[in-house]
Structure 1
Amino acid sequence: MRQLDDSQLRRLEEHKYSCMSVSLMDPLMQKWWCWLVEQCPLTLAPNLITITGLAINIFTSLILVYYSPDAKQEVPRWACFLCAFGLFIYQSLDAIDGKQARRTGTSSPLGELFDHGCDSLSTVFVSLGVSCSVRLGMLPYWMFFQCMMAVTLFYCAHWQTYVSGTLRFGYIDVTEAQFGVMAIHMVSVILGPEFWAMKGTSVLSPVVPLSLILVPAVLIAWKSPEGLFLQDPTIYLLTFGCVAARVTNRLVVAHMTKSEMAYSDASLLGPAALFLNQYFNCPISEKYLLYCVCAYVIYDLIKYCRQVCLEICEHLNIMMFTIIPKYPQTKATSSMEKNGSSSKYMTRSKSKVKNN
């Protein structure tokens, strides 16, 4: 059974690749990529470059999976370095396959499809590799979220391309994310995989929620087409300040209860909504969405604080804003205690008499 009919194949001939990038790191890497493609012989097929990079990336990622199949065991430092190096090779080859196609006059829709198909598969193995490197299997639900979020964002990027006809790369996009993954691997190389999980408590627990606040706060303000922060600085800071307060309160609770800091938090849905709205070219007014998110995070913060305080009051049998009065002792009781004739002393004396 054929996957493409004749009409699809005819329309494929008319397809033109369209891309727009404002990536911060791509201009810095262009000199390396341009030099690298010049080293390739003109007889080297662009698709062969793509598949070679993918094979290296998969192989180096599978080494980590071999040593830690459930992402809970410590992996060798050299394996983390090899995975980071494999990802760098994949990134470089993935960047020059299109240059090689234009250089040799062999650009075609097949090359674009082949490139993106390899990228979709690479996303899975990159996610698995970094999970093994930081022993994310100790927190399986966060591992699931991280891997599924990676493939979801990749899908959303091509969904946007399907709708708009242009593949868009933001300020912080694929290249920056890949270097971020390489940096994580290098931390495991230098400090050891045990750095990420010491004595059963992950050092990522307090760091990840904070980064999930600061990074979106900067990116959303930076990329906002409406100048969201400059237009409503107080509401913007109040929104992200309340999210930070919520996460900080959870950190305090985790410390006092001697428990692990959870990655997930309901208040993070607010920054996620603002981020996704920008990702899809702001179908909802940013100002309107910001006010809605602000109201939500304030409500969520109050609800969380109230619930925690009530649960503690119930457990410790205390009141939150009132004090139960303690009745003063009578003069007779006080004189008895001073003379050593209180009930507890009398009880002790009676027991001594009985024993004698």
Structure 2
Amino acid sequence: MITLTGFMFLLVSAVLGYIYSPHLDSAPPRWVHFAHGLLLFLYQTFDAVDGKQARRTSSSSPLGELFDHGCDALACALEALAFGSTAMCGRNTFWFWVISAVPFYGATWEHYFTNSLILPAVNGPTEGLMLIYMAHFFTSIVGAEWWAQDFGKSIPLLSWIPYINGIPTSGVVLLFMVLFAVIPTVSFNVQNVYKVVQSRKGSMLNALAMLVPFCVLLGVIILWDFLSPTDLIGNYPHMVVMGTGLSFGFLVGRMILAHLCDEPKGLKTGMSTSLFYLPLAIANTLTARLNDGVPLIDEKWVLLGFCIYTAALYLHFATSVIHEITTALGIYCFRFIPPHKLELKILMWCWWLYYVVSYKGSLVFRCKCFTSFNPMVAVPFWDF
């Protein structure tokens, strides 16, 4: 429940960005930037507290891991939209989502093969999020225009650097994040997986095959935008990022589920389900070339259909997995049974069984015992 509450903070942040900057290219009120930073800080805090509570109460479970990482995967898209409104990134908001999704997928992929999640000294979940909410707070002081002006004007001390002093500040930040964060992190992931695969005498090609669905997702979305006659990402950044983010969340969820179930290593065919809609979108875009630049179906509705498809797919996956895990393990999704209450429940069942089994009276009395002493009837177990 703590993780879900933290996730709702980011959802509110993304909605604020949409209300005050629908295309992510206009400056929202400065209090919105402060709200973005505060909500991200609360999300990070709740996400960390949830893990500590699970360890303190001994309530850790596979469902908790799946739920936590599933929310984190969707959080990449929501925070990209929030930062896009803060920095007025416009269509570059999609690329900010990409540079957050790539390391996340790489870390999940590494965890899948190595059974351990090793984070570098400076990592995204701690220092990375701290830098982002500090950027939100900073923007609430200087204004969103600071990100849109040339890098040399935003930071005069670095205006001597060639090639980048005329690029918008948000673009330079994007470039620096790719060079100094994404590439080193992904290299670290590949190196760790390679060591484990070699030690187990496995196939590195089999390991790399797990990256194919994610690469196909990114490639097809970029192709769709390239072929689109309506500037897909520029006109509908929220729908593109959310539709792609939900598809990404499904890929991550499937990989985590395969790891929890200890399935054989290799590409899972079920992961491609989130990609089935994209060929239809590409085909519709190509019809514009045969109809004077007008596609058969307005791309706004095709993109909305993509969002609905991925949302329905993700919700079906999440609800199905939650139901199966809670049923198999006898646990609850949003609450747990404290140890002393669990012991009390066991004692009550033993007490009831003693009277029913040991008494030598009639069947009628046993039925009365059932209604009188059964904890399910006398004191419902869910009220403990």
Higher-Rg member (1/2): 1
**How does the TM-score come out when normalised to structure 1?**
0.47
Bigger helix share = 2
